[in-house]
Amino acid sequence: MAQGLEIRRSSATLRGGGTGLRKLPTVAKYIDTSTCIGCKACEVACQEWNDLPLAKTEQVGTYQTLPTMTANFWNLIKFHEVETQEQGLSWLLRKDQCMHCDEPGCLEACPAPGAIVQYVNGIVDVDPEKCIGCGLCETGCPFDVPRYAQGTSKMAKCTLCVDRVSVGLEPACIKACPTGCLQFGDKATMVETAMHRVQQLKADGFAQALYYDPQGVGGTSVITVLKHGDHPEWYGLPKDPTIPATVSVWKRIIRPIGFVAMAAAIFGAIGHFMAFGPKKPKDASKQTGGEV
Amino acid sequence: MSELRMGVGGPTAIQVARDKEDVLVGDEIVRHRLSSRVIHWLVAVFFLTALFTGMAVWSPVFGWMANLFGGLSVVRWLHAWLGIAFVAAFILMFVAWLGDMKFDQYDKKWNVVEYLKFTDKDDPDVGKYNAGQKFFFWAAGLGALALLLSGIVLWWPAEFSQGLRSASLILHDLAFIAFFVAIVGHIYLSTAAEPGTFGSMTRGTVTKSWAKTHHPRWFRDVTSRK
């Protein structure tokens, strides 16, 4: 748990997680995919700051360090090659990590009280002591982010360097970026920066440019500027991410119905007993008095 | 019928009930032989422990149940293994009881609403199991299968697609709720509602008057035998 940060939301908690008194601006990472050069400095900084072990790189035929994020590798520059009629060949690089959703699907799906928390500044974090390693957060996440530690099955992901942010430092990945394509600040400022960059891209001929801040999950604390904003899937991003309906249906509809059904069964049995009483065997003497 | 009395010198009902059922011993009828009862209680123990461990994960309201088993982190894997044990025991029970559970022509006229009125007007054609019990048997089998399949997906989330995991979450949930409601009815009907029933699952026997009241056709079959 980060010092000095109050909880905004906490998993599997019936009555809220924090006092609601302290308000802090939501923080955000700004990622400009159009100026990322794929140097992977952010990957290294992430590994270093978070004391994650060295990852053996895997050659997958692209400029990507690993095929996917792992429990020991939370920040991966994704590489996508796209060829279009108008733009020709593009190499699209996007820094992939936890999106820190305003309405986190992982937190919604998590059954362990306090295992996934959202701080007042919007950062979504995992408390490994409370995580039970069930994997339901993966079902709740529309971005395929949660990974599980070998052996313990505990979930691990980007913490948005909450330990740095809570003492006034910027995340390690931001600190390491040499081109300025990564920035960090309060979300309003990051959105402003993104809007400005989108205007520039549009002027440069990328008419579909936009910044990715999907409202289906209430917006994210990762603002990603995309040249081809009409095709987020080219960057490996879902078009309209939402918390899977089944997770919401489970918690908001089926579970209340379940409570009612369980209570109805118990009170139904008691009520039946009171109304109809026990059914005792018919007078035993009649039978035993017979032939036997 | 003197040979059925077996009073002096003959085996007692509980001795007969070790390996025979559907036989009359004195004033008692053996309803469930020992192996049947052991299988039933195996299923019951694994069902209830799987239920309590599952409920702890299902809602924080029941989170305290996890403490009975060592906390949520233990429950997370214990529940899965208890579920496997439940299904394994259930398969044994399913095979053992299948013969008695086939629906026949008498089941068509059995009426659950009339049955629950607990009147004296009993359906004279109810055999060893009434249609409701048979339905419970088959529904529980189907429910156990649903819990098994969806449980496997939930156990190894990384191996299955998002759609399959979501569907399993809902299926596991619905099956659990149905099982909870059914088990409350099952326990109620076999204890408080129908005195004399519980003994059929402990020492294995029921009284003749019990059999005549609740399962008249079975009573006639058993008493007319030999």
Asked whether residue A288 carries a pLDDT value surpassing 80, the answer given is: no
Q: Which residues of B touch A292 (CB under 8 A)?
A: 1, 4, 27, 208, 223
Q: Which residues of B touch A287 (CB under 8 A)?
A: 208-209, 212
Asked whether residue B108 carries a pLDDT value surpassing 80, the answer given is: yes
The answer to whether residues A198 and A251 belong to one domain is no
DSSP A254-276: IHHHHHHHHHHHHHHHHHHHHHH
The answer to whether residues A137 and A207 belong to one domain is yes
Quick one: pLDDT band at residue A155, thresholds 50, 70, 90?
very high
The answer to whether residues A175 and A212 belong to one domain is yes
The answer to whether residues A143 and A281 belong to one domain is no
The pair of structure tokens assigned to A92 is: 């699209």
**A275, part of any domain:** yes
Instruction: Write the CATH number for A267.
Output: 1.20.5
Give yes or no for a contact between B26 and B203, defined as CB atoms under 8 angstroms apart. Answer: no
Query: What letter does residue A57 receive in the DSSP assignment?
Result: P
Quick one: pLDDT band at residue A291, thresholds 50, 70, 90?
very low
Return mean pLDDT, chain A. Answer: 92
Asked whether residue A121 carries a pLDDT value surpassing 70, the answer given is: yes
The answer to whether residues A198 and A263 belong to one domain is no
Report the pLDDT value the prediction gives residue A55, as an integer from 0 to 100. Answer: 84
Q: What is the mean pLDDT of residues A149-161?
A: 94
**A131, part of any domain:** yes
Query: A281, B192: Cβ pair inside 8 Å?
Result: no
The amino acid at B92: L
Number of domains in chain A: 2
Give yes or no for a contact between A226 and A200, defined as CB atoms under 8 angstroms apart. Answer: no
Report the pLDDT value the prediction gives residue A253, as an integer from 0 to 100. Answer: 93
E strand or H helix at A60 = none
DSSP A66-135: SSS-BTTB--EEEEEEEEETTTEEEEEEEEES---BSS-HHHHH--STTSEEEETTS-EEE-TTT-----
Asked whether residue B5 carries a pLDDT value surpassing 70, the answer given is: no
Q: Tell me if the domain spanning B35-104+133-203 has CATH number 1.20.950.20.
A: yes
**A23, part of any domain:** yes
Q: Give, in order, the Cα–Cα distances in Å from B149 to each of B67, B85, B106, B138, B167.
A: 27, 14, 34, 17, 11
The answer to whether residues A134 and A272 belong to one domain is no
Q: Report the gap between the CA of B210 and the closest CA in chain A (Å).
A: 5
Report the pLDDT value the prediction gives residue A22, as an integer from 0 to 100. Answer: 78
**A1, part of any domain:** no
Question: Which stretches within B128-198 are classed as H helix?
Answer: 131-155, 162-190
Residues in contact with B51: Cβ distance below 8 Å, sequence separation at least 6, in sequence order: B176, B179, B180, B183
Round to whole Å and give the CA distance between B191 and B91.
Answer: 25
Asked whether residue A87 carries a pLDDT value surpassing 80, the answer given is: no
The answer to whether residues A106 and A200 belong to one domain is yes
Asked whether residue A173 carries a pLDDT value surpassing 90, the answer given is: yes
| A147 bridge partner residues | A156
Question: Nearest residue on chain B to A243, judged by CA atoms?
Answer: B166
**A144, part of any domain:** yes
> What percent of chain A clears pLDDT 90, i.e. is strictly above it?
80
Q: Specify the pTM.
A: 0.89
Buried b (16+ CB within 10 A) or exposed e, A29-68: bbbbbbebebebbbbebbbebbebeeeeeeeeeeebbbee
**A177, part of any domain:** yes
Report the pLDDT value the prediction gives residue A292, as an integer from 0 to 100. Answer: 35
Size of chain A, expressed as the number of residues it contains: 292
**A152, part of any domain:** yes
pLDDT digits (tens, 9 = 90+) for A2-29: 456 888 999 998 876 677 787 889 999 9
Q: What is the mean pLDDT of residues A160-167?
A: 94
* Cα three-residue angle A105-A110-A116, rounded to 5 degrees: 85
Could you say which of B40, B79, B186, B215 is catalytic?
Answer: B186
Q: Which residues of A touch B166 (CB under 8 A)?
A: 139, 244-247
Please count the other Cβ atoms lying within 10 Å of the Cβ belonging to residue A232. Answer: 19
Q: Tell me the three state secondary structure of residue B60.
A: helix
The answer to whether residues A210 and A254 belong to one domain is no
Asked whether residue A231 carries a pLDDT value surpassing 60, the answer given is: yes
Report the pLDDT value the prediction gives residue A1, as an integer from 0 to 100. Answer: 45
Report the pLDDT value the prediction gives residue A230, as an integer from 0 to 100. Answer: 93
Q: Report the gap between the CA of A126 and the closest CA in chain B (Å).
A: 15
The answer to whether residues A235 and A92 belong to one domain is yes
For chain A, say whether B196 makes contact (Cβ under 8 Å): yes
The answer to whether residues A197 and A283 belong to one domain is no
Query: B181, A250: Cβ pair inside 8 Å?
Result: no
**A2, part of any domain:** no
DSSP A17-45: SS-S----PPEEEEEETTT-----HHHHH
For chain A, say whether B171 makes contact (Cβ under 8 Å): no
pLDDT digits (tens, 9 = 90+) for B118-132: 988 878 899 999 999
pLDDT top residue among B43 and B109:
B43
Instruction: Write the CATH number for A205.
Output: 3.30.70.20
The answer to whether residues A263 and A187 belong to one domain is no
The answer to whether residues A216 and A279 belong to one domain is no
The helix/strand count (H/E) of chain A reads as: 9, 11
- Note down the domain range covering A268: 247-288
